[in-house]
Amino acid sequence: MASLIAVSQTQLLYIKPRLVSPPHQSRSLFLPTGLPAGVRGVRATMPRKAVIVSAATAETPKKKGESKGFVEEMRFVAMRLHTRDQAKEGEKEVKQPEEKAVTKWDPTVEGYLKFLVDSKVVYDTLEDIVQEAPHPSYAEFRKTGLERSESLKEDLEWFKEKGYTIPEPSSPGLTYAQYLKELSMKDPQAFICHFYNIYFAHSAGGRMIGRKVAEQLLDNKALKFYKWDGDLPQLLQSVRDKLNKVAEGWTREEKNHCLEETEKSFKLSGEILRLILS
């Protein structure tokens, strides 16, 4: 009914009523008064075909990237939250040090170790949740090849062997991990948003950060955090396919809810990233 009402409100301005002799079974849309005697009993009706065509054109426009699958929608929203230094589609203004181009960073080993430790807390949590699968759809993302927990463990062991003190996990990582646990139980769409942004951001901008730190602080040593077993583009495509498959069962409202969680994901990840510059 709502769509027909909306159409009638606009189309009545453009479609002229025509006067016809009333069939016995028809119902009037309106009965004019004060007509001349020669046309009494005449009913005014709207052209049915015109109304039907108008209703068919009143469609909700597609979201950016929707025709390519839900992952493309997530990518588009995420890109908009980057700065122009970080991505050509970025719209965010630079406000924090970690939002500058990586080439302008001045990291420290101590800060980088804090980042690695807190990142491990988050990846440990993500991978435990997927393994336990409190929501059945999470099981789709077991053993994707993108897992980072074991790689981070080996990298931290390497730093320890070099004589560095490994810090305890700090508030940014612990807060994010707790938030992910809560989401995984009650809000699968929001959880999937974080899953996507954490793993896919690390495979892109994360690698740029790794190269920058390796050049400045580690004599170009490439950590295992930035190495994958297998072809990375192929691993990412496999996960994209799984994400699109899971999202096929969601309503448009559930998809929108997932997209709305992107900003929260960027905020929590940004607090961990900021540790590099501490």
CATH number of 166's domain = 1.20.910.10
Q: What is the pLDDT of residue 92?
A: 64
Q: Is residue 154 part of a domain?
A: yes
Span 95-153, pLDDT tens digits: 777 667 777 888 999 999 999 999 999 999 999 999 999 999 999 999 999 999 999 99
Q: What is the pLDDT of residue 60?
A: 52
Bridge partners (DSSP) listed for residue 18: 45
Q: Is residue 53 part of a domain?
A: no
Res. 89 pLDDT band, cuts 50 70 90: low
Sign for the CA dihedral angle at 207, 213, 219, 225 comes to negative
Q: Is residue 256 part of a domain?
A: yes
Q: What is the pLDDT of residue 87?
A: 58
Q: Is residue 56 part of a domain?
A: no
Q: Is residue 237 part of a domain?
A: yes
Own/partner long-range contacts of 43-51 (Cβ < 8 Å, ≥24 apart): 43/19, 44/17, 44/18, 44/19, 45/17, 45/18, 45/20, 46/12, 46/15, 46/17, 47/15, 47/18, 50/11, 50/15, 51/4, 51/7, 51/8, 51/11, 51/15
- pTM of this structure: 0.74
Span 167-225, pLDDT tens digits: 999 999 999 999 999 999 999 999 999 999 999 999 999 999 999 999 999 999 999 99
| Residue among 220, 217, 231, 209 at smallest CA distance from 103 | 209
Distance CA 141, CA 127 (A): 9
Sign for the CA dihedral angle at 80, 100, 102, 146 comes to negative
Q: Which residues contact 208 (CB under 8 A, 6 or more apart)?
A: 102
Residues spanned by the domain of 202: 106-274
DSSP summary character for residue 188: H
Distance CA 216, CA 205 (A): 17
Torsion angle of the four alpha carbons 124, 130, 135, 139, in this order, in degrees rounded to the nearest 10:
180
Q: Is residue 39 part of a domain?
A: no
Q: Is residue 95 part of a domain?
A: no
Q: Is residue 18 part of a domain?
A: no
Distance CA 275, CA 278 (A): 5
Span 226-269, pLDDT tens digits: 999 999 999 999 999 999 999 999 999 999 999 999 999 999 99
Helix, strand, or coil here: 135?
coil
Note whether 85 and 101 are within 8 A (CB): yes
How many structural domains are present in the chain? 1
Report whether pLDDT(25) > 80.
Answer: no
